[in-house]
Structures are given as structure tokens and as C-alpha cells.
Amino acid sequence: MSDIAVNIKNLTKRYKDGPLALDDVDLEIKKGEFFALLGPNGAGKSTMINIMSGLVKKTHGDVEIFGTNQEDDPTKIKFDIGVVPQEISFDPFLTVQQTLEFQSGYYGIRDNKEYIEEVLVNLNLIDKKDAGTRQLSGGMKRRLLIAKALIHKPKLLILDEPTAGVDVELRHTLWTYVRKLNEAGLTILLTTHYLEEAEALCKRLAIVDKGKIKAVGKTKSLIEEYSGKKTISLNLKEKLKEVPSELNKYETQILENGSILEITLDPSNTEHVFKAVGATSLDVTNFSVAEQSLEDVFLKLTYEQHEK
Amino acid sequence: MKSNTYGAYTLFKKEVNRFKKVWVQTLVSPLVSNLLFLAVFGLSLNRSMPELDGGVTYLQFLVPGLVIMGMMNNAYQNSSSSIVIAKYNQTISDLLTIPLRPIEVQYAYTLAATVRGLMVGIVTYISTLPFVQVPIKNLPLILLSSILINVAFGLLGLAVGIWGKEFDRMAAIQNFILTPLIYLGGVFYSLSVLPESFQKISALNPFAYMIDLLRAGFIGTSTFPISTSLIFVGITTLVLHLLTGWMLRTGYRIQS
């Protein structure tokens, strides 16, 4: 058996009369991973998981989940995955217990009482099992969505923006719970636009923007790779119109109408940058150094391009 | 691909559960409106209407028409409103994510609609017994044709529910297409009493064959030959089956 949970190749989606939501995306997630798709709203994260769950038809490409190609057997994939959607929606006629009993039935499970109880206890919903879904608070509905996705014991749990609009306390409760599920062996794919969430939960992540994967790798090494980069801001006595030719080969930016020059440093060029600055006729009155966080990297990879 | 019979049965159960919960609206109100029709048309017109072939009174003629009308409306409404409500509640996406094949979804909805249609039909028939004794000349024909009719209207409701974005559309189809075709298809009168030109137009109304067929099972006489009606009803059901099957397989209007 291969150790690949999700294998996506050349996945493209163009909505009717719409823009390209996914543009030739490749992605591989291993069994047992806790993986994040990180990106701003409208980046294509939901499109990607909605194709996996069957809500959206792909334009072309291949989706393989636990070795089954979606085109060969979409139903098998539906048995293997559990999806926690972004939008909260329940059948208003049913109670919590009934919602989960019907959900079990759809997966061919006749008697799932014990497991339903176990999941409800774990998600702290057991007191509400006979309550109608309309009587639940927002946070309880969110937890019921997770219960619903877990009730057939899927091998891959997909969480679409699980903590959007959720208070801090519930966010941490949910994090603890899904972390436990992952430690017990469940493969989890999470989409989020909160960097903090991806950092807290996932060992690997992909940064998605405008239908493309901009970067993929270990969360830690992505942070290390980019946090090695620093920026130095030089406050200048005289306003600068253009970057001196000595500094042309470095990544520079003129700010504040020319009174600040910002240069990006990485460990390999720091020394050269200082020498190059010394060789210019710039009159530096002050300077400051800032480290780039993954947040900056994320913003750089995504939002800035939207402005262009 | 393995089939998921218990999953399909669960969806069927949920659909039955849905109409049972609002039984006043789904079972009692059709009963009341049918008894009103019986009072308005039957009791007032019965004496002035001539007996039909075989000594069938107008009331005996009318009751099977009311039974069919109740079945058609309710089978149609069950699947169409269920789908439109699911779109409204955004639970429609569940149909795509649960591990049921399109044909299993189709059968679950159609069967639930059939159960509701049959319940309304039976309740309508029983409720008229104190007022009029309608013969049952051919029970197998009644069973076969009522199942076919309910299946056809369950499928039709499914198709309209998938197609329609709003309750408006669903109601428009019912008010501007179904109700006129049902009323003009011979629920209240025998097509044979119409002027010849109207008879010819009525022969183009697919529902006229359904109504005639089921009524033949009760009173033993029919306007069209039974075999013609059976073939016609069978083909209609098959076409609707293929249409909704195609809609569900391609994700028409549900999958983006």
C-alpha cells in the first residue's frame, strides 16, 4: 500500500462565465499528515476540497484519494472522506441525535449509537443530543458539523475554514480536538486564511493564491527559509529619487517619498549590502532592521500581487 | 462500484419522515380539499347528471378522479418541495457528498413521493365511502396504474425541484401547467361528453390517459383502450426516469 492519502495532478477548474479558480494544481498529502491550505479568501482552497468531496466538477486534471481515482469510483472516495463545510446547514426538522443517525445510515451503518455517543461526548454535545438543530448556538452547530463529518470514521478529514467566526475559546477547544484525532492516525486537510491556525496545527502547508500553489513545504522550514530574510530601512537626509546604481542588484524599495530606502537582506549578502551602501553617496541619518515573519511572506506572496 | 442499499433506504426514510412530521399539511389538507370538491361538484351536480355506461353515477365517476388528483399533486409536491427546501436550507450539498449513486438518490426520492401519493389516494377513497360506494372492478389495474402514476409524478417533482431555483418556479409549474392539465384531463368530467374538437385536443394531454386508466380500474369502463393508456403511462414514466437520472448523474443545477 502506498503512503499517499491525496494525490492531485494538473487540477484545473474554470467556473461557468467565471475566472480560473484553480490553475493546473499539483498536490500530494501523505497518510497521517495534518496539512493546511493557506490562502486569502477566493484563492481556490474551497474549490479544491469541493472537487474532492463531489460538490464541484473539475474542468480537468486528476484527483486520487487513497489510491482511488475519482473518475473510477467517486462513491468509494465519499466513504473515505469526511468534510466539515464552511457554511453551517442542517435539516431543521431533526435533532442532534437524529442528524447523526441519518448521517450514519447514508454510509450504510445500521446501528451507530455507541460511536455517536462517543463523538458527542468528545465534542461536548452530549447534553444537546435531543435538541433540535435550530436550538443550537453557533459554536455548537460548528461542533455538530464536525461530528457529522466523523460519524462514518473517515480516513481523511477535510476542514474548510473550521474556525471562521468562532471565538477564541472554542477555537482552542477545536484545535485540541483535531490535534488528538490526528495523533490517533487520522489524515487531516485544513483550509484557513489564519496563518496562526496553520502554524499551530500543521507540519506541512501549501500557500494558495489565485488558483495556484505558490509555495509548499514544512511549516517550520517555510518560516526558517523566509525568517532568515531581514529588511534594513535607511532613513535618509535627502530625499531619494532613484535607487543608486551600486544597490541595483539587491531587492530595494523606496518609501515615504524617498526619505526611506528599504533593502532586503539575507545571510549570504548582508556583508555586501553594507559595503555597497558605504560606496554610495547616501547620507544615512538612522536605520532600523526588521525580521520578516511568515505572515509577511504570506502577504507578499498573495495580497501584493492583487494590487498590481 | 458497490451499491449502498441501506444508505438509499435511509434517504427514503428521511423523506418519509419529512412529510410525516408535517402530516396536517401533507396528508390532511389534500383530504379536506378533496372532500370539498366532492361536496361542491358531486352533491350539487350528481342529481342533474345522467348515469354513465354500466349504471355509474356521477359521484362514482368523480371519486376516482379525486383519488388520482390527490396522488398526482402530492407525489409531485413531495419530491419538488423537498429538493427546493433543501436548496433553501443549503442542505442540498448533502446529496452530493453522501456516498449514494445518482440512481439511489433517484429511487429514494421517487419511492417516498409514491408512498405519500398512495397514502393520500387511499385516505381520499376511504373518506368518500360514507357518501358514495365506488366499485373496485379491477384491483390489479388500480394498483399498477396508481404506482405508475405516483412514480411518474414523483420523478416529475424531482426534475422540477432540481431545475427550479425558487418556490416560485415550482408553484408556477403546478399552477400553470399541472393543474390545468389535470383539470382538463377528465378529473371532473368524462372526455366523451366533450365536443369532438375538444376530445381531439384532450387526447394530446398525457394526464388524460393516466386519469382514464386508473378510473377504469374502479368503474370498469374507459374512454381510451386500456392497453393504449398503459403503454402511454409506461412511456411517460420511463422518459421521466431517464430525464431525472440524467440530471442527477450530470449534477445539473446542483453541482457547480
Helices A168-183 and A138-150 meet at what angle, rounded to 10? 10
Q: Which CATH architecture fits A229-291? A: 2-Layer Sandwich (3.30)
- CB contact under 8 Å between A79 and B97, yes or no, is no
pLDDT at position A228: 61
- CB contact under 8 Å between A105 and B9, yes or no, is yes
In a domain, B256, yes or no: no
- If you search the block for the grid coordinates 418556479, which residue do you land on? B169
Distance, in Å, from the CA atom of A144 to the CA atom of A14, rounded to the nearest integer, reads 32
Q: Does B21 touch chain A (CB under 8 A)?
A: yes
Instruction: State ipTM.
Output: 0.90
Do A82 and A152 touch, CB atoms closer than 8 A?
yes
Beta bridge partners of A289: A232
Tens digit of each residue's pLDDT (9 = 90 or more) over A144-188: 999 999 999 999 999 999 887 788 888 888 899 999 999 999 999
User: Residue A4 phi/psi, 5° resolution?
Assistant: -95, 125
- CB contact under 8 Å between B256 and A79, yes or no, is no
Determine the residue of chain B that is closest to A151 in CA distance: B98
SS3 A274: helix
Write down the H helix ranges in A107-167.
113-122, 138-150
In a domain, B255, yes or no: no
User: Could you state, in chain order, the average pLDDT of each consecutive group of 10 residues for chain B (256 residues)?
Assistant: 89 95 88 89 76 83 94 95 92 92 96 97 93 93 96 97 87 92 91 88 93 95 93 95 96 87
Within 10 A of B248 (CB to CB), how many other CB atoms are there? 24
Tens digit of each residue's pLDDT (9 = 90 or more) over A254-288: 888 888 888 888 777 778 888 888 888 888 888 88
Determine the residue of chain B that is closest to A14 in CA distance: B256
Count of domains forming chain B: 1
CATH of A4-223, picked from 3.30.1240.10, 3.40.50.300, 3.40.50.720, 3.40.50.1700, is 3.40.50.300
Pairing of strands A156-160, A212-218: unpaired
Residues 6+ apart with CB under 8 A from A47: A13, A21, A22, A56, A211
pLDDT at position A262: 86
Domain ranges of chain A: 4-223, 229-291
Give the containing element (helix H, strand E) for A102. Answer: helix A96-106
- CB contact under 8 Å between A56 and B255, yes or no, is yes
User: What is each CA distance from A246 to A94, A275, B52, B219, in whole angstroms?
Assistant: 71, 10, 108, 103
Residues 6+ apart with CB under 8 A from A81: A52, A53, A65, A154, A155, A156, A157, A158
Q: Provide the residue range defining the domain that includes B180.
A: 5-250
Which is nearest to B117 in space by CA: B33, B30, B215, B21? B30
Specify whether the backbone of A282 is left (phi greater than 0), alpha (psi in -120 to 50) or beta: beta
Q: Does B189 touch chain A (CB under 8 A)?
A: no
**Fold match, A4-223 / A229-291:** no
Distance from CA of B62 to the nearest CA of A (A): 37
- CB contact under 8 Å between B10 and A76, yes or no, is no
Which is nearest to B159 in space by CA: B55, B63, B74, B240? B240
Nearest to A75 among B5, B14, B99 (CB): B99
- In this prediction, the residues of chain A whose per-residue pLDDT falls under 50 are 305, 307-308
Tens digit of each residue's pLDDT (9 = 90 or more) over B211-223: 999 999 999 999 9
